């Protein structure tokens, strides 16, 4: 900055721009730029300016930034991995956010369900999956990403209340790797089609939006040929599961000393001891074993 200040001082003394630029070893283009910055901003204009670009190709949109900030305010304990998985939400005409929960058959691409929800909490996902299981049977496995309500990164084995229920129903849980949506590419491709055909522009309220989702399901399953299955309709090649849905029974642990029901706050109480487990197991029965000392110890 000191050299620039001397340069400007010489010009202010009435010396010609060309002579001063030659003395300082700079072009007249640079000289005029420095002098004009001084005229516009004073001495502060001679300081080094940030070279940070005005625009960033990978910068989030303003709408997405607001969504992330809103989620962070609503769930202050959620970190980036949880928030990142909420890329499917969109705003309805009445300014409410809609979170579409979609369920597809891996083999036939059949769209089993598409429900517009106003939250990603597990309690809203339970009835959707239960209805699908009652109508189409219980699947052998479910593949999901690592976001809520399918997973809980801070719980044991990443289990959530929803995935614990799946396990009790005998469903194998498959999770894709973090940052690899291509591992669930079939479902991602369907979501892209859904967004293009049923959410742009969005409907005014949830009832109107759900009607569009229902219409999309009918067309996607029974009228729209799918290239990946030889141009057939998913509804023509889909076969429901033969395993009938029944609410899971209480688990039995024949080789353990006692069973304990987990409290709503995620703890088990044994005598006067309270042991924190996880809220995802709230209401579930778990087994505990009494450790015995080895002989001579």
Average pLDDT over residues 113-129: 91
Average pLDDT over residues 153-159: 79
pLDDT on residue 169: 94
pLDDT on residue 297: 47
Q: How far apart are CA 216 and CA 125, in angstroms?
A: 20
Nearest of 129, 128, 213 to residue 221 by alpha carbon: 213
- With a pLDDT cut of 70, the percent of the chain lying above it is 85
Tokens of 95: 């300014």
pLDDT on residue 56: 54
pLDDT on residue 221: 95
Q: Which residues contact 278 (CB under 8 A, 6 or more apart)?
A: 152, 155, 156, 159, 266
Residues 135, 147: contact at Cβ < 8 Å?
no
Q: Look at 68-77, 164-173, 199-208, 243-252 and tell me which has the smallest mean pLDDT.
A: 68-77
Residues 98, 92: contact at Cβ < 8 Å?
yes
Tokens of 290: 């009494």
Distance of CA 96 to the CA centre of its chain: 18
pLDDT on residue 83: 47
176, pLDDT greater than 90: no
pLDDT on residue 80: 55
Band of pLDDT at residue 281, cut at 50, 70 and 90: confident
Q: What is the mean pLDDT of the chain?
A: 83
Average pLDDT over residues 183-208: 89
The CA-based dihedral angle spanning residues 141, 144, 146, 149, taken in that order and rounded to the nearest 10 degrees? -90
pLDDT on residue 131: 95
pLDDT on residue 182: 78
pLDDT on residue 54: 52
pLDDT on residue 67: 60
Q: How far apart are CA 295 and CA 261, in angstroms?
A: 32
Residues 284, 250: contact at Cβ < 8 Å?
no
pLDDT on residue 82: 47
Secondary structure E strands in 18-64: none
Q: How far apart are CA 288 and CA 99, in angstroms?
A: 39
pLDDT on residue 66: 66
Average pLDDT over residues 201-211: 93
């Amino acid at each position: 900055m000191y050299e620039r200040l001397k340069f400007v001082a010489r010009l202010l003394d009435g010396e010609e721009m060309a002579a001063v630029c030659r003395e300082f070893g700079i072009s007249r283009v640079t000289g005029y730029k420095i002098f004009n910055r001084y005229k516009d901003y004073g001495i502060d204009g001679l300081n080094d300016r940030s070279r940070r670009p005005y625009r960033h190709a990978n910068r989030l949109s303003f709408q997405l930034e607001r969504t992330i900030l809103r989620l962070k305010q609503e769930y202050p304990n959620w970190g980036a991995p949880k928030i990142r998985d909420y890329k499917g939400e969109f705003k309805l005409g009445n300014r409410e956010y809609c979170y579409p929960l979609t369920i597809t058959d891996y083999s036939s691409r059949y769209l089993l369900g598409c429900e517009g929800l106003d939250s990603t909490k597990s309690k809203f996902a339970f009835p959707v999956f239960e209805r699908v299981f009652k109508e189409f049977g219980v699947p052998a496995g479910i593949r999901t990403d690592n976001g809520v309500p399918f997973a809980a990164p801070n719980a044991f084995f990443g289990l959530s209340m929803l995935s614990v229920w799946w396990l009790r129903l005998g469903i194998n849980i498959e999770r894709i790797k973090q940052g690899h949506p291509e591992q669930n590419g079939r479902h991602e491709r369907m979501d892209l089609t859904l967004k293009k055909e049923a959410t742009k522009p969005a409907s005014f309220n949830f009832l109107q939006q759900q009607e569009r989702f229902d219409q999309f399901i009918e067309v996607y399953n029974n009228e729209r040929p799918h290239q990946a299955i030889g141009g057939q309709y998913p509804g023509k090649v889909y076969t429901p599961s033969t395993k009938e849905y029944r609410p899971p029974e209480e688990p039995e642990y024949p080789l353990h000393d006692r069973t304990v029901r987990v409290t709503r706050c995620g703890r088990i109480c044994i005598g006067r001891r309270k042991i924190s487990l996880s809220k995802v197991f709230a209401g579930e029965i778990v087994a505990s074993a009494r450790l015995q000392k080895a002989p001579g110890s």
